[in-house]
């Protein structure tokens, strides 16, 4: 594919989405498998989500993002799709999904769904046909098959561990397939599409139209930076051991298992932008203000901003903000650069602290800055300080919600859920665990089924008490039932912060930094002050007026006048000067 990329002209193109709903939206990620199970089989389902629409409405979110619900062998928790136009039977029926969309829309909540365009399941009808067809056939051209008689076509590694090339002959048993391979950047059961093939383009154009017609308001694009590979598929500089598994088998293994970055000829190629321009044209034909948000793990904020130019995506996840950790200087740098880079192309910034692929921030932020949590946390790893982690998580979220742009929440973070860090190895289901020779614990710890009640075998998650992943001890104390109406609870904090954010229109505002001590961030967004203390000592904010909301518990609240910001705390303030929040009223 030849890119028509022209950075300057694309950056300056006028936007027609300046009043779009998603510019300041709070969007809540639902991982259906773990949200709620209505039929008792231990796996979350659509009816389970419908039973808790009231929880989402009370939380005050603008939209939900549903992680994959398509038919799938579940090798990678639904990101191995075998049919892009149906619902997995364990989740329900298309009619169930239609009813959920209607329920959410009635509650004023929009619906965003996951789109998985980099790869399919090996059980997809196209890939099964490709294995049945001959080498160099049109069926195989929909995927990336290559021949080489002296080993794999190149040195690329899978992001799930091991090489990224799978031999074909063992799958077909045919001698004509000897020395043929197919590419899989993830599990071997997730073959990569060939985006030079027109069938692939038409398939996903049809996908977009199909789901918009069913009432979907937006799409989260999985591996948005990976669809197009460099011409000729040259070797990269990293090689096949992307999780340093070989290094981790030495004496200092735990320290050496850091995942290598998503860079090289398999990622962030200019041709991906032509695809997103194509999709934007399709979406503009079938709807208004349809959201596209990129999951693009790219090196810099400037790289991410290229995905959200006027004729491409709407938003891109701000992963630099997520990985900035408990570091005031780095947080400020990311905020400044993000607002500048996204602003240059007329797009809103986004902010996110947790999702289904990373350690929950109520645990992650409890660790020292040099602790790498990318591999996940297992029972043999140092365990987080739960109290410290929750205090920092509450503060980080309150600070995040005070920033202009759109904010993403991950199910359960409104309850203060920590990572399940003591899960037994036998219970793990993430393919990372097996494909890294049982070195990388993986992502199961953030995907544990939610607690809804204080008691019961599964704390209200399932009607039978069954859960597809085990819940840790004490899970029920995080449930909505345990927190409802309790002053100072994390659930109460989230509800109040989201409501106040909307009332003061902070998502449409701006950032003006104010003078603060080292380790403290203090900004004005209109007439709202937003403060974060990342230090271990209290800090006084002089001249502040009324405290609007705090991350710390009510017994420690101050009053009008100077505010004492406790260690690991955040607050919003009514500032004595400054313009109205959020700019001009709509």
What amino acid positions are annotated as catalytic residues? Answer: 222, 285
Residue 153: closest CA among 144, 162, 161: 144
Q: Report the alpha-carbon distance of residue 479 to residue 423 in Å, rounded.
A: 19
Give the end-to-end CA distance of the chain in Å, rounded to a whole number.
42
Cβ atoms of 273 and 8 closer than 8 Å:
no
Residue 160: closest CA among 38, 52, 77, 40: 77
Burial of 4 (0-12, 13-18, 19+ CB in 10 A): exposed
Task: Enumerate the β-bridge partners of residue 26.
Answer: 407
Q: Quote the DSSP letter at residue 505.
A: T
Residue 416: closest CA among 360, 456, 474, 496: 360
- Encode 430-494 in three state secondary structure: CHHHHHCCCCCCCCHHHCCCCCCCCCCCCCCCECCCCCCCCCCCCHHHHCHHHHCCCCCCHHHHH
Residue 552: closest CA among 397, 401, 354, 335: 397
**What is the sign, positive or negative, of the torsion defined by CA atoms of 335, 340, 345, 346?**
positive
Cβ atoms of 78 and 33 closer than 8 Å:
yes
Q: Report the alpha-carbon distance of residue 181 to residue 165 in Å, rounded.
A: 6
E strand residue ranges, 346-462: 350-352, 406-410
């Amino acid at each position: 594919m030849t890119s028509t990329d022209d950075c300057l002209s694309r950056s300056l193109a006028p936007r027609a989405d300046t009043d779009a709903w998603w510019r300041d939206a709070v969007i809540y990620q639902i991982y259906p498998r773990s949200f709620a199970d209505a039929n008792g089989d231990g796996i979350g389902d659509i009816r389970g989500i419908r039973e808790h629409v009231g929880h989402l409405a009370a939380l005050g979110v603008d939209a939900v993002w549903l992680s994959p619900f398509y038919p799938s062998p579940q090798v990678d928790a639904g990101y191995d799709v075998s049919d892009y136009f149906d619902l997995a039977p364990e989740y329900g029926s298309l009619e169930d999904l239609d009813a959920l969309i209607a329920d959410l829309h009635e509650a004023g909540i929009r619906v965003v769904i996951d789109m998985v365009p980099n790869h399919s399941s090996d059980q997809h009808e196209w890939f099964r046909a490709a294995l049945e067809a001959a080498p160099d056939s049109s069926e195989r051209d929909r995927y990336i098959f290559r021949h080489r008689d002296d080993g794999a076509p190149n040195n690329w590694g899978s992001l799930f561990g091991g090489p990224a090339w799978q031999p074909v002959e063992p799958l077909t048993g045919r001698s004509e397939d000897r020395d043929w391979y197919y590419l899989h950047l993830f599990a071997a059961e997730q073959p990569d599409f060939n985006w030079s093939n027109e069938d692939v383009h038409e398939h996903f154009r049809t996908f977009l139209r199909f789901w918009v017609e069913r009432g979907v308001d937006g799409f989260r694009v999985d591996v948005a930076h990976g669809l197009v590979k460099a011409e000729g598929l040259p070797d990269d500089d990293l090689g096949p051991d992307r999780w340093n598994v070989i290094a981790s088998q030495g004496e200092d293994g735990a320290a050496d298992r850091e995942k290598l970055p998503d860079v090289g000829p398999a990622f962030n190629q200019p041709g991906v932008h032509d695809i997103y321009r194509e999709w934007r044209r399709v979406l503009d034909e079938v709807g208004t203000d349809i959201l596209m948000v990129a999951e693009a793990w790219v090196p810099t904020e400037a790289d991410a901003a290229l995905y959200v130019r006027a004729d491409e995506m709407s938003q891109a996840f701000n992963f630099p903000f997520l990985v900035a950790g408990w570091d005031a200087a780095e947080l400020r740098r990311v905020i400044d650069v993000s607002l500048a880079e996204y602003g240059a192309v007329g797009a809103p910034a986004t902010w996110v602290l947790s999702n289904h692929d990373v350690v929950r921030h109520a645990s992650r932020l409890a660790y020292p800055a040099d602790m790498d949590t990318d591999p996940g946390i297992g029972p043999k790893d140092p365990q987080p300080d739960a109290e410290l982690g929750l205090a920092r998580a509450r503060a980080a979220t309150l600070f995040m919600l005070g920033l202009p742009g759109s904010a993403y929440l991950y199910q359960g973070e409104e309850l203060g859920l920590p990572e399940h860090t003591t899960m037994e190895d036998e219970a793990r289901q993430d393919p990372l665990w097996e494909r890294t020779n049982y070195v990388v614990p993986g992502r199961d710890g953030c995907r544990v089924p939610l607690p809804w009640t204080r008691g019961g075998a599964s704390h209200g998650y399932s009607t039978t008490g069954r859960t597809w992943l085990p819940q840790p001890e004490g899970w029920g104390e995080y449930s909505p039932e345990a927190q409802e109406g309790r002053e100072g609870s994390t659930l109460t904090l989230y509800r109040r912060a989201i409501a106040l954010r909307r009332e003061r229109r902070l998502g449409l505002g701006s950032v003006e930094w104010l003078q603060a001590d080292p380790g403290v961030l203090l900004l004005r967004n209109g007439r709202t002050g937003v403060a974060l203390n990342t230090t271990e000592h209290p800090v006084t904010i002089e001249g502040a007026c009324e405290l609007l909301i705090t991350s710390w518990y009510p017994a420690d609240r101050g009053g009008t006048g100077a505010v004492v910001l406790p260690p690991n705390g955040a607050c919003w303030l009514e500032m004595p000067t400054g313009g109205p929040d959020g700019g001009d009223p709509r």
